[in-house]
């Protein structure tokens, strides 16, 4: 099929920063894009061919949007899966599939999927109601510390909390959740796997993630990870096993723990471009965003090797600031070697909201890491 400069229409559910970066690729290739998002000021609005304002969780909205396009993809998991399933039955191509998204959307189903496919993951308990966790602790069925995650709609910094005492359970969302054993790990790693419709498959180099201690958000993504070749090989093998089990089309970002014994455990996955792959825009031969487009359109996959070492710094709203965003000292960081800022286009900032990222590329990863720290300490995301 001719996707380029043609009548072909690609639909994207979600108009956030991931969609905006996908649109850099579709504009490069001159692929017509339709985007659906609930926010009239979504970052994608300026770059797509047609923007529709609508609720991603509403069946009719998603179904009617999907009927207008040839291939449908998403940049966020919180979409109406029943609508995707109906669209698939009616011949609209949806990648990744509704079947995979239904599993991945729910962290309890996701963990059970790993058990069913003999994939390595941490021990966990599933609870229909958050109130059952306290009962399990009091009855001796659950021991501190553990990680409590909302089954639906949780993500880094939201619905995820380390619980060390009963007091930590106060004020948590009431619905279905899981409690995972708190892993004593050396590193948090991630591997992005790309798979096309005809089964061509490629992995990106393993990345290492450094987290903010309070917000539970990634502060730095370091590529390649500072680990041994043996551990890197093991991490990629586990990621490929997960990819094979899902039999997905598109990208699958596999978040992993490297334990003290160098075992690799699956934390969770995302079936889309991912925060752990932003540095690929500058550091890789093929960015994760271009790779996702290639995979879902069944085009040959691009080279995944690094051209150079890369580090990504998340730009998040500073604490104590809410309102119209100002990026302070952005010119200062642009003086630094190998630094490229990406501003997502969100007009309003609030504490810890992802507002952009900065990539640092350098032949020497230790130098890149130092520059990344200088970037982090220099730029400030504040409000008027």
Provide the residue count of the chain: 384
- Do the annotations mark residue 183 as ligand-binding? yes
- Do the annotations mark residue 333 as ligand-binding? no
Do residues 169 and 148 lie in contact, with contact meaning Cβ atoms separated by under 8 Å? yes
Distance in angstroms (rounded) separating the CA atoms of residues 280 and 267: 22
Sign of the C-alpha dihedral, residues 351, 352, 356, 358? Answer: positive
- Do the annotations mark residue 329 as ligand-binding? no
Helix (H/G/I), strand (E/B), else coil: 316: strand
- Do the annotations mark residue 181 as ligand-binding? yes
CA atoms within 13 A on the CB side of 74: 27
Do residues 96 and 271 lie in contact, with contact meaning Cβ atoms separated by under 8 Å? yes
Helix (H/G/I), strand (E/B), else coil: 268: strand
Number of H helices, E strands in the chain: 11, 21
Could you tell me where the beta strands, DSSP code E, fall in 151-234? 160-163, 177-181, 185-195, 201-203, 207-211, 218-223
- Do the annotations mark residue 104 as ligand-binding? no
How would you class 364 by CB atoms within 10 Å of its CB: exposed for 0-12, middle for 13-18, buried for 19 or more? exposed
| CA-based end-to-end distance of the chain | 49
Distance in angstroms (rounded) separating the CA atoms of residues 219 and 369: 12
In DSSP terms, which residues pair with 73 in a beta bridge?
A: 12
- Do the annotations mark residue 182 as ligand-binding? yes
Residue whose structure tokens are 């039999």? 247
- Of 188, 202, 169, nearest to 255 by C-alpha is 188
Residue whose structure tokens are 């060390």? 164
Q: Which two tokens stand for residue 134?
A: 């306290």
Do residues 102 and 122 lie in contact, with contact meaning Cβ atoms separated by under 8 Å? no
- Of 21, 2, 3, nearest to 340 by C-alpha is 21
Sign of the C-alpha dihedral, residues 330, 18, 227, 108? Answer: positive
- Do the annotations mark residue 149 as ligand-binding? yes
> Which residues fall in the annotated binding site for ATP?
107, 149, 180-183, 188, 267-268
> Which residues fall in the annotated binding site?
107, 149, 180-183, 188, 267-268
């Amino acid at each position: 099929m001719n996707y380029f400069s043609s009548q072909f229409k690609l639909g994207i559910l979600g108009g956030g920063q991931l969609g905006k970066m996908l649109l850099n690729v579709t504009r490069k290739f001159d692929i017509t894009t339709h985007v659906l998002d609930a926010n009239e000021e979504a970052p994608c609005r300026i770059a797509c061919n047609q923007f529709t304002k609508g609720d991603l969780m509403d069946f009719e909205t998603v179904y009617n949007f999907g009927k207008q396009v040839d291939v449908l993809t998403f940049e966020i998991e919180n979409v109406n899966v029943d609508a995707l399933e109906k669209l698939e039955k009616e011949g609209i191509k949806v990648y990744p599939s509704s079947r995979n998204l239904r599993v991945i959307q729910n962290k309890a189903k996701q963990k059970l999927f790993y058990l069913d496919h003999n994939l390595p993951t941490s021990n966990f308990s599933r609870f229909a109601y958050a109130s059952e966790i306290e009962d399990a602790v009091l009855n001796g069925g659950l021991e501190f510390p553990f990680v409590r995650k909302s089954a639906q709609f949780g993500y880094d910094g939201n619905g995820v909390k380390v619980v060390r005492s009963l007091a930590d359970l106060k004020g948590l969302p009431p619905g279905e959740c899981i409690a995972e054993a708190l892993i004593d790990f050396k590193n948090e790693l991630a591997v992005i796997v790309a798979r096309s419709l005809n089964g061509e498959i490629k992995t990106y180099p393993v990345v290492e993630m450094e987290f903010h201690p309070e917000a539970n958000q990634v502060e730095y993504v370091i590529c390649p990870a500072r680990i041994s070749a043996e551990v890197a090989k093991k991490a990629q093998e586990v990621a490929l096993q997960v990819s094979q089990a899902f039999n997905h089309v598109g990208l699958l970002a596999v978040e992993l723990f490297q334990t003290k014994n160098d075992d690799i455990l699956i934390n969770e996955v995302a079936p889309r471009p991912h925060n752990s792959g932003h540095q690929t825009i500058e550091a890789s031969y093929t960015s994760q965003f271009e790779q996702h487009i290639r995979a879902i359109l069944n085009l040959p996959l691009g080279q995944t090797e690094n051209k150079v070492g890369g580090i990504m710094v998340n730009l998040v709203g500073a604490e104590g600031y809410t309102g119209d965003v100002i990026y302070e000292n952005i010119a200062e960081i642009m003086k630094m070697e190998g630094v490229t800022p990406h501003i997502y286009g969100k007009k309003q900032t609030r504490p810890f909201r992802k507002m952009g990222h900065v990539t640092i590329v350098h032949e020497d990863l230790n130098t890149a890491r130092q520059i990344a720290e200088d970037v982090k300490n220099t730029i400030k995301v504040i409000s008027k």
